[in-house]
């Protein structure tokens, strides 16, 4: 019988190998024993991932994890600096040792696959690569058996998977032993040995997203999101899984700038020099506070008249874009139920897209179009090409998409947003948008796995609880969890900058200074200044100056201080000037942080400091703010007070 393995002269039935990160701090031990493969990880000589199993169950076939032998091995040292077209850090080191193990079954059809590891100073990635082979070309994955065997006494920060609100939950601290129900990644964990790690994935294409849960052996295991037919993915070979990624750091603050998801994705295959980050206002929060509606009627928000007024306001405010939600047919009645009839090329009678887009063009304002699909993918995909072409023909270069609804409707069946079919739908929109030179901001998205490197037109996503949950469901601690968890998956459209903090319909649980801080602590390639223009122009013009100046494209990001769920302080340097921005947020407890400015370049800076006043409090005195101006340099140190639910924002303008 033909056996692939026979092609290889080298063959080992038992094998062990240690390989090291470039700085020698992390070691991976690979083992092939009794036909099974495992890996384990040491950091600073301490075991952090105990021997963990690898492999697959495949429908209608023998599982692909036993009776294996090693038929080839390849190793390589890679050293490179990746440049990102926009983002939090312009240059990202891509330095690793790669070890690829080519494995074959000893009997049966002798099926083969490769297990490829990349070991960086700040993390370990590995993936499975399955080539096409006789009698093995179309496969259905029943289960991926990848384990991350971690001390169960470690602390984890979780949001639940497979729940109706997708990723939109509050983070909870628990022990790894409690992860008996699936949770989403990035799953951040603090081990008793003092290591911080976050389990995530990179380059998620054509496969269900990985969730994590404790299995019966007490090991964390990949639980791939199922399809409605209860399988995990249908793929044709060759097939490569996403990278299974374990980010590693000695402190939680260091973890926040782990950018391995990007270097594990491919460079773009086309010219994306047309992509530009964007700051915008929106016909948006007025709907949340009940002044306007998405649906047509007396208080319809998306009218031609309102859009023109907001365009004029954007010009006065010095903001480049305007989002308009509720302009298209389909929002009447219960829009969640009725969303199945949404029309993406038909405007409501009171909204004239031609008039609005030509007015926007005249005023040099980018319109951000909106598609709320409510997860009715069958309805959306039928219109997809026409809908994107329609915007492109009107000179609209940005679209915010949305997938409200607890599940998607695909091919007439309910599927998870993060299933293989969901993943493939989101990818289709990214690629089609690229074809029409359109940038996307996806709400209710698939989590970020670094594909923005390959598809830079994917400027932002939501994918966590954002400010729309204010009014009771957003705790001050939430924004102090995000940098250590969700934001490890890339930028987020959190809709910052709500100044109307004591609105009776939606009370905001933050201080005013903290709303400015968000523009620094939560990165987004497309950032909405989310409140209505009058709050900026009439009520708080001084505070708004910070929003106008803060960029959303940075050369480098330096995390300065923090603790998971408690506080976070970060500095970022503008990519298009010599200026620096610093932001800090705290949970429901006030605190003082000391910021040493030694990361600045030589020379003097004009500093604008927006700080909670001594008596500010998110509940009783949210507007308590002090604005001061100083000359500062790299030998200076700042002592900053953060009120309960508060924060601060600083602009350092190089003189």
Which residues of this protein are in contact with ligand NOJ, per CB under 6 A? 325, 372, 402, 404, 443, 462, 468
Instruction: Tell me which residue of 426, 431, 423 sits closest to 457, measured CA to CA.
Output: 431
Q: How far is the CB of 458 from ligand NOJ (least distance, A)?
A: 16
Which residues, other chains included, contact 529 with Cβ-Cβ below 8 Å and sequence gap of 6+? 279, 280, 281, 317, 319, 496, 497, 536, 544, 547
Q: What, of Ca ion, ligand NOJ, none, does residue 497 touch, CB below 5 to 8 Å by kind?
A: none
Print burial letters for 468-486: b (CB count within 10 Å at least 16), e (below 16): bbbbeebbbbbbbbbbbbb
CB neighbours (10 Å) of residue 117?
22
Nearest approach in angstroms of CB 226 to ligand NOJ is: 25
Q: Which stretch binds Ca ion (CB under 5 A): 291-299, 455-463, 525-533, 542-550?
A: 455-463
Output the smallest distance, CB 466 to ligand NOJ, in A: 6
How many CB atoms neighbour CB 107 within 10 A? 12
Distance separating alpha carbons of residues 282 and 289, to the nearest angstrom: 13
Cα atoms found within 13 Å of the Cα of residue 529, Cβ hemisphere only: 31
Taking CB under 5 A as the rule, which mask of x and - marks residues 462-501 in contact with Ca ion? Answer: x---------------------------------------
Q: How far is CA 189 from the centre of its chain?
A: 18
Indicate which residue of 415, 468, 470, 543 is catalytic: 468
Supply the minimum distance, in Å, between the C-beta of residue 460 and Ca ion. Answer: 13
Segment contacting Ca ion (CB under 5 A): 53-61, 83-91, 387-395, 454-462?
Answer: 454-462
Segment interacting with Ca ion (CB under 5 A) among 292-300, 439-447, 533-541, 580-588: 439-447
Phi, psi of 43 (to 5 degrees): -130, 130
Dihedral (Cα; 442, 445, 448, 450), 10-degree rounding: -50
**CA–CA distances in Å: residue 343 to residues 80, 331, 339, 383:** 47, 10, 9, 8
Closer to Ca ion by CB, 306 or 443: give it: 443
Give CA–CA dist 182/164, Å, rounded: 14
Q: Are 14 and 33 within 8 A, CB to CB?
A: yes
State which residue, 307 or 560, has the beta carbon closest to ligand NOJ. 307
- Judged by CB under 5 A, the number of residues near Ca ion is 2
* Partner in contact with 372, chosen from ligand NOJ, Ca ion, none, beta carbon below 5 to 8 Å by kind: ligand NOJ
Active site residue 468: yes
Q: Which does 144 bind (CB under 5 to 8 A by kind): ligand NOJ, Ca ion, none?
A: none
Name residues whose C-beta falls within 8 Å of residue 550's C-beta, 6 or more positions apart in sequence.
Answer: 516, 519, 520, 581, 649, 651
For the CB of residue 546, give the shortest distance to ligand NOJ in the complex, in Å: 23
Residue among 372 and 462 whose Cβ is closer to Ca ion = 462
> Contact region for Ca ion (CB under 5 A) — 313-321, 435-443, 601-609, 640-648?
435-443
115 vs 295, beta carbon nearer ligand NOJ: 295
| Token couple for 570 | 């970060």
Burial of 139 (0-12, 13-18, 19+ CB in 10 A): buried
- Do 14 and 32 contact (CB within 8 A), yes or no? yes
d(CA 191, CA 210): 21
Which residues partner with 281 through β-bridges?
A: 322
When the beta carbons of 404 and 432 are compared against ligand NOJ, the nearer one is 404
Q: Supply the DSSP string of 149-186, one letter for each residue.
A: B--TTSEEEE-BSS-TTTT-S--EEEEGGG--S-BPSS
Pick the piece of the chain touching Ca ion (CB under 5 A) from 190-198, 207-215, 282-290, 456-464. Answer: 456-464
Decide whether 190 or 465 has the Cβ nearer to Ca ion. 465
Q: How far is the CB of 506 from ligand NOJ (least distance, A)?
A: 13
Instruction: Give the nearer residue to ligand NOJ in terms of CB position, either 329 or 566.
Output: 329
Distance CA 232, CA 419 (A): 8
- Copy the structure tokens of residue 575: 């990519």
Choose between 397 and 443: whose C-beta lies nearer to Ca ion.
443
Cβ at position 380, least distance to ligand NOJ in Å: 13
Minimum separation from the CB atom of position 166 to Ca ion (A): 8
Closer Cβ to ligand NOJ, 402 or 622, answer by number: 402
Residue 88's binding partner out of Ca ion, ligand NOJ, none, with CB under 5 to 8 Å set by partner kind: none
Q: Which one of ligand NOJ, Ca ion, none is in contact with 608 (Cβ closer than 5 to 8 A by kind)? A: none
Distance of CA 156 to the CA centre of its chain: 19
Q: Which residue lies nearer to ligand NOJ by CB, 207 or 494?
A: 494
User: What is the end-to-end Cα distance of the chain in Å, rounded?
Assistant: 76
Interaction partner, residue 325 (Ca ion, ligand NOJ, none; CB < 5-8 Å by kind): ligand NOJ
How far CA 250 is from CA of 176, 197, 255, 288, 462, in Å, comes to 19, 9, 8, 41, 28
Partners of 120 in the β-ladder = 123
| Minimum separation from the CB atom of position 446 to ligand NOJ (A) | 14
| φ, ψ of residue 378 in degrees (nearest 5) | -60, -45
Return the one option of ligand NOJ, Ca ion, none that residue 142 interacts with (CB less than 5 to 8 A, by type): none
Among Ca ion, ligand NOJ, none, what does residue 561 contact (CB within 5–8 Å per kind)? none
Least CB distance to ligand NOJ at residue 54 (A): 37
Retrieve residue 172's tokens.
């909870």
Q: Which residues bind Ca ion (CB under 5 A)?
A: 443, 462
Residues serving a catalytic function are: 468
């Amino acid at each position: 019988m033909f056996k692939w393995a026979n092609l290889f002269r080298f063959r080992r039935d038992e094998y062990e190998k240690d390989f090291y990160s470039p700085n020698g701090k992390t070691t991976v031990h690979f083992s092939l024993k009794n036909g099974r493969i495992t890996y384990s990880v040491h950091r600073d000589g301490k075991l952090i991932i105990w021997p963990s199993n690898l492999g697959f169950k495949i429908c209608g076939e023998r599982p692909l994890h036993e009776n294996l032998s090693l038929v080839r091995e390849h190793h390589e040292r890679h050293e490179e600096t990746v440049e990102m077209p926009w983002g939090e850090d312009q240059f990202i080191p891509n330095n690793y040792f790669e070890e690829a193990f080519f494995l074959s079954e000893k009997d049966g059809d002798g099926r083969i696959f490769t297990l490829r590891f990349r070991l960086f100073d700040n993390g370990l990635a590995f993936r499975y690569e399955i080539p096409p082979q006789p009698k093995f070309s179309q496969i259905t994955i029943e289960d991926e058996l990848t384990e991350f065997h971690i001390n169960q006494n470690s602390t984890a920060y979780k949001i639940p998977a497979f729940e109706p609100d997708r990723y939109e939950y509050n983070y909870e601290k628990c022990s790894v032993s409690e992860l008996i129900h699936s949770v989403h990644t990035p799953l951040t964990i603090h081990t008793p040995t003092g290591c911080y790690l976050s389990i995530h994935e990179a380059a998620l294409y054509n496969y269900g997203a990985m969730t994590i849960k404790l299995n019966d052996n007490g090991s964390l295991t990949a639980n791939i999101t199922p399809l409605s037919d209860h399988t995990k993915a249908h793929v044709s070979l060759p097939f490569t899984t996403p990278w299974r990624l374990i980010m590693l750091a000695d402190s939680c603050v260091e973890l926040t700038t782990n950018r391995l998801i990007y270097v594990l994705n491919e460079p773009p295959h086309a010219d994306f020099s047309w992509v530009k980050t964007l700051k915008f206002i929106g016909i948006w929060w007025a709907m949340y506070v009940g002044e306007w509606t998405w649906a047509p009627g007396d208080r319809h928000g998306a009218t031609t008249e309102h859009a023109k007024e907001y365009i004029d306001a954007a010009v006065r405010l010095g903001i480049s874009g305007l989002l308009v939600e509720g302009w298209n047919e389909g929002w009447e009645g219960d829009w969640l139920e009725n969303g199945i009839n949404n029309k993406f090329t038909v405007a409501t009678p009171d909204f004239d897209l031609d008039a609005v887009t030509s007015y926007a063009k005249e005023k040099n304002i980018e319109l951000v179009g909106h598609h709320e699909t409510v997860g009715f993918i069958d309805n959306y995909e039928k219109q997809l090409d026409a809908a994107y072409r329609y915007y492109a023909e009107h000179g609209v270069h940005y679209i915010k998409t949305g997938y409200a609804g607890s599940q998607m409707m695909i091919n007439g069946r309910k599927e998870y947003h993060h299933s293989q079919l969901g993943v493939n739908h989101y990818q289709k929109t990214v690629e089609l948008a690229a074809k029409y030179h359109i940038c996307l901001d996806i709400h209710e998205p698939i989590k970020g796995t670094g594909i923005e490197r390959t598809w830079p037109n994917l400027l932002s996503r939501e994918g966590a609880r954002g400010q729309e949950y204010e009014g009771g469901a957003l705790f001050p601690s939430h924004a102090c969890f995000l940098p250590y968890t969700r934001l490890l998956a890339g930028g987020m459209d959190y809709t910052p900058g709500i100044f109307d903090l004591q609105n009776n319909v939606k009370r905001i649980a933050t201080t005013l200074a903290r709303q400015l801080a968000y523009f620094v602590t939560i990165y987004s390639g497309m950032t909405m200044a989310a409140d209505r223009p009058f709050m900026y122009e009439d009520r708080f013009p001084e505070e708004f100056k910070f929003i106008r100046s803060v960029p959303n494209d940075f050369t480098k990001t330096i995390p300065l201080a923090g603790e998971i769920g408690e506080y976070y302080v970060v500095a970022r340097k503008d990519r298009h000037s010599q200026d620096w921005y610093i932001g800090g947020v705290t949970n429901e407890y006030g605190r003082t942080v000391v910021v040493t400015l030694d990361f600045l370049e030589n020379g003097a800076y004009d500093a604008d400091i927006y700080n909670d006043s001594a008596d500010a409090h998110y509940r009783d005195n949210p507007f308590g703010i002090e604005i001061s101006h100083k000359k500062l340099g790299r030998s200076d140190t700042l002592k900053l007070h953060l009120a309960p639910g508060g924060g601060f924002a600083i602009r350092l303008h190089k003189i």
